[in-house]
Amino acid sequence: MFPQKNRNDVNTIMSTLIQSPAWQALQAHFKSIKNTSMRDMFAQDNQRFNKFSTQMDDILLDFSKNRINDETFKLLCELVRERHVFDWRDKMFAGEAINISEFRPALHTALRNRSNTPVFVEGENVMPKINRVLAQMRYFSGRIRGGHLRGYSGHLFKDIVNIGIGGSDLGPHVVCDSMKPYAQRGLDVHFVSNVDPTHLTEILKRVQPESTLFIVSSKSFTTQETMLNAHSARNWFINHTNDKKAIARHFVAVTTNREKATEFGILEENMFEFWDWVGGRYSLWSAIGLPIALYIGMDRFEQLLDGAHAMDQHFKTAPIEKNMPVIMALLGIWYSHFFAAQSYAVISYNQYLRRFSAFLQQLDMESNGKTINRQGQQVDYTTGPIVWGETGSNCQHAFFQLFHQGTRLVPVDFLIPANTCNPLRNKLGNQHEVLLANFFAQTRALMRGKTEAEALAELEASGMAAEKIKAVLPHKIFAGNKPTNSIIFERLDARTLGSLIALYEHKVFVQGIIWNINSFDQWGVEYGKQMASDIENVIAEGKETQRYDDSTNHLMNYCRLLRAEFP
Ligand code: F6P
């Protein structure tokens, strides 16, 4: 039960986080550093990059363009020790039931445990069953890609349609999008998630039943959106083929719920299992990654696992001062609490990564959008930030204005591969080099800003009349001092992508531990699901309702009228 006392007395009962010596020291230190400019700090310290950068394989994180100095970094690292982050990390890797409201471990790291060392859940080593499913995925994807397994009428499979939502969509979706250059010719993959019938309808217009394989991806096999889409896809398939038996060849399931998948008509041999200790938003490493294996092949899927495993090893072994996920977590906390930043942005300078921030939204906001701590009390500090982003350079021409001159502080992660798989050059220039130039220019401009003297000198050099200069000058000044992380890697391949995703997973984990919340449940989402199913019944009745609050009743009744009049 929720302790009422804590709910009402949040201002008087200070949490151990706020009271901790490192936190208090950070609070005091903040006053002395909050107005210091990064420009000055760079001018005074030519070792800044060496001190404030770290590397894992070819992935370089430069965090020197942040509002920190040696003292800040020391205190932030101290917070990691005080909050026993590494003890919790070890508990997670060891399979302890750290998801305390669902009474289970969070063992996505075991799914990519390429060392194959035993990992125990309730006394059972789970590695053999993980390896069994990987072997099943290899066999199945090989047979489909090789044309040995065909549709009911002998056609090669040309389209894979993944039906799932949340973690059963976003993870495999971002990976398939990002790995497009490695896809098998003639095999396309589509993702249906929205219960809006438009989503499925538009995709079904582009595929043929005889050459389409449907993957029903649902941990629970009860999620309303997924089940509705799966049944509609099934109806479409039967309408076109007139052959119910053919379903067995065209529908497979990825689920922890065999019983429900059997009820749907999926054969035992076409079920890909995973387990309740894999959280939805952490599941792309499991059989939920089947569309990835089909699209880019099992070898590349395993490279993705290798990359994530490499980041796991880094997280487990690197000292705090060089530990990439830990550092990114600490910087996030620094801005969120001390500079009151509400959000952070992730800007990928790579078109293939266009869905990366959408994936991170679920990962971060579903994990750390919590107000109750691990002891069941309300927290007295802010927790998970708002995550958003887009691809560069597009967004430079959209919301970057606010980064440069707005009143809000938005820390930004910039990501870019040093090389492109699509080199294009023409008489105006080399396109990837221009992309790189924009990446470097933006982080530098955000850090340096432009002083009044610099702006004035520029305007005078342009020959502008003094009167006009006076009017325009204030608008040409940039405060600068906007924090960014720069993440550069050799190229975007499966291994690097695996490492990058695992990097953010662990960053979110570390923040959850420092905030003393459970990053592995999502009761808020469950509440919405429950309410929607009650309302759905009322809509289906088709009668006017007075069942809910005044606003909801009026909205539903108005909608009912609009629907009745619709031809
Ligand atoms: O959105 C809430 C959620 O429970 C996610 O955590 C999960 O990824 C998604 O729904 C889908 O659930 P399922 O895989 O059980 O269909």
Instruction: Confirm whether 173 is a catalytic residue.
Output: no
Could you give the percent of the chain with pLDDT greater than 70? 98
Please tell me the distance between residue 361's alpha carbon and the centre of ligand 1 in angstroms: 14
- Using the atom order of ligand 1, give the atom closest to the CA of residue 165: 11
- Using the atom order of ligand 1, give the atom closest to the CA of residue 279: 6
* pLDDT, average across residues 92-120: 98
Contact partners, residue 88, CB within 8 Å, separation at least 6: 98, 509, 513
- Give the pairing of strands 343-348 and 159-163: unpaired
Please tell me the distance between residue 383's alpha carbon and the centre of ligand 1 in angstroms: 22
With a 6 Å cutoff on the Cβ, whether 101 touches ligand 1 is: no
Residue with tokens 């266009």: 354
491-544 pLDDT tens trace? 999 999 999 999 999 999 999 999 999 999 999 988 888 888 889 999 999 999
Residue 3: the pLDDT is 42
* Helix-then-strand count for the chain, H and E: 26, 15
Catalytic residue among 273, 366, 390, 505: 366
215-238 pLDDT tens trace? 999 999 999 999 999 999 999 999
With a 6 Å cutoff on the Cβ, whether 168 touches ligand 1 is: yes
Please return the burial class of 343, using the count of CB atoms within 10 Å of its CB with bins 0-12, 13-18 and 19+.
Answer: middle
The closest of 333, 382, 391, 357 to 511, measured between CA atoms, is: 333
Strand-pairing partners, residue 429, are: 426
Q: Whose CA is nearest to atom 1 of ligand 1?
A: 166
Instruction: Confirm whether 366 is a catalytic residue.
Output: yes
Q: Give dist(CA 76, CA 71) in Å, integer.
A: 9
Q: SS in 3 state form for 366-377?
A: HHHCCCECCCCC
With a 6 Å cutoff on the Cβ, whether 193 touches ligand 1 is: no
Q: Check whether 175 has a pLDDT greater than 90.
A: yes
Residue 369 main-chain phi, psi, to 5 deg: -80, 70
Cβ atoms within 10 Å of 556's Cβ, excluding its own: 17
Catalytic residue among 5, 34, 529, 554: 529
* pLDDT, average across residues 156-170: 98
Please return the burial class of 501, using the count of CB atoms within 10 Å of its CB with bins 0-12, 13-18 and 19+.
Answer: buried
Cβ atoms within 10 Å of 88's Cβ, excluding its own: 18
- Give the pairing of strands 271-273 and 412-417: unpaired
Strand-pairing partners, residue 189, are: 160
DSSP string, 299-365: HHHHHHHHHHHHHHHHHHHS-GGG-HHHHHHHHHHIIIIIS---EEEEEES-GGGTTHHHHHIIIII
Q: Check whether 2 has a pLDDT greater than 50.
A: no
Q: Check whether 9 has a pLDDT greater than 60.
A: no
Catalytic residue among 31, 205, 245, 397: 397
Contact partners, residue 92, CB within 8 Å, separation at least 6: 98, 105, 106, 107, 109, 509
Split at pLDDT 50, 70, 90, the class of 10 is: very low
- Using the atom order of ligand 1, give the atom closest to the CA of residue 283: 8
With a 6 Å cutoff on the Cβ, whether 171 touches ligand 1 is: no
* pLDDT, average across residues 76-89: 98
Ligand 1 mutation pick, 99, 168, 192, 364, max ligand atoms within 8 A of CB: 168
Q: Write down the pTM of the prediction.
A: 0.96
Angle among Cα 17, 19, 23 to the nearest 5 degrees reads: 65
Q: Check whether 443 has a pLDDT greater than 50.
A: yes
Q: Check whether 557 has a pLDDT greater than 80.
A: yes
With a 6 Å cutoff on the Cβ, whether 173 touches ligand 1 is: no
Residue 8: the pLDDT is 43
Please tell me the distance between residue 322's alpha carbon and the centre of ligand 1 in angstroms: 34
Cα dihedral 490, 491, 497, 500 sign = positive
Q: Give dist(CA 465, CA 445) in Å, integer.
A: 26
With a 6 Å cutoff on the Cβ, whether 178 touches ligand 1 is: no
Q: Check whether 14 has a pLDDT greater than 80.
A: no
Please tell me the distance between residue 281's alpha carbon and the centre of ligand 1 in angstroms: 8
- Using the atom order of ligand 1, give the atom closest to the CA of residue 167: 8
